[in-house]
Amino acid sequence: MTDMKTEVLECPYCKEKLEKVTFDSIDLAKEPELKKLVMNEELFAMNCEKCGKKSLIAFPCLFSDSEKKFLIWLLGGYTEEEKAVLDKDLIDSAKNESEKEVAASYNKRIVGSINELKEKIIIADDDLDDRVIELLKVLCVNEVIDQLMGVTLREVRYNSTSAGKKFLVLIFDEKSPSMIEINNQMYKTVKNMFGEDIKQNTPKEGFAEIDAMWAKNVIENSTKGLPGGKN
């Protein structure tokens, strides 16, 4: 289901009050045009006629895909209390066993930024598991950590090309981004190695926070004898 509304929001630069069309929920499988606006960020764009500046507004919205089977809450700066309310609402919405089975078949995530949302969508479109990708990020960074001395690694993002090339983008504060190409064998190796750890560290109910912190925790507490893990 796609629900939209018009809100009065404030320009973050000049504080002018502006009308902005926002959405409470969007089914990306049924709304391909809206999906394009998500991926090019125009869905979140707000242009201020007073100061002439453009800003991105990460308004709270539940993004679903009935084909890829995911639910993603975009909720910037959310608290544990707010997440608990969303988890309860999700659990309470399944009225019978059939609905519970449908809900269980969906990957349920919560993200705090537009970039995180877009990355989750790209991963799903590539038919990959975001949990494996997050583990791959941490492991790949650990492999090149000696080369990163003197620079601040701000974040690592997954992306891919239309030709099927998959890579991680390392984004720094002091220099231009660099890329690490990943292949199917790397993906399969990590998936097989951490299969049980992934299951044990993924909540069965509610919206899971699958990010770098989650991945580091999985690796540090893994039984695989990896550096930083249990031997």
Least confident of 21-30, 140-149, 160-169, 194-203: 140-149
**Residue 224 pLDDT:** 64
Q: Tens digits of per-residue pLDDT, 167-177?
A: 999 999 988 99
Q: How many CA atoms lie within 13 A of 4 on its CB side?
A: 10
Find out whether 113 and 58 touch, Cβ atoms under 8 Å: yes
Q: Which of 7-21, 47-61, 144-158, 209-223 shows the lowest per-residue confidence on average (mean pLDDT)?
A: 144-158
69, pLDDT greater than 60:
yes
CB-neighbour burial class of residue 79 (10 A; exposed 0-12, middle 13-18, buried 19+): exposed
Angle between helices 130-143 and 212-220 (to 10 degrees): 70
Q: What does the pLDDT read at residue 150?
A: 82
Q: What is the mean pLDDT of residues 188-192?
A: 96
At a CB cut-off of 8 Å and minimum separation 6, what does 42 contact?
none
pLDDT in tens, 109-161: 999 999 999 999 999 999 999 999 999 999 999 988 878 788 899 999 999 99
| Rounded-to-integer distance, Cα 70 and Cα 128, Å | 12
* pLDDT tens-digit series, residues 95-107: 766 667 767 889 9
Closest CA to 66 of 94, 31, 91, 99: 31
Question: What does the radius of gyration of the chain's CA atoms come to, in whole angstroms?
Answer: 19
Per-residue pLDDT, averaged over 185-206, amounts to 94
The whole-number average pLDDT for the span 11-28 is: 95
How many residues comprise the chain?
A: 231
User: Are 105 and 71 spatial neighbours (Cβ–Cβ below 8 Å)?
Assistant: no
pTM tops 0.75, yes or no: yes
Q: What is the DSSP letter of 147?
A: G
Average pLDDT, the chain: 91
**83 contacts 207 by C-beta, under 8 angstroms:** yes
Per-residue pLDDT, 103: 76
Identify whether the C-beta of residue 152 lies closer than 8 Å to the C-beta of residue 172.
Answer: yes
pLDDT at residue number 226: 55
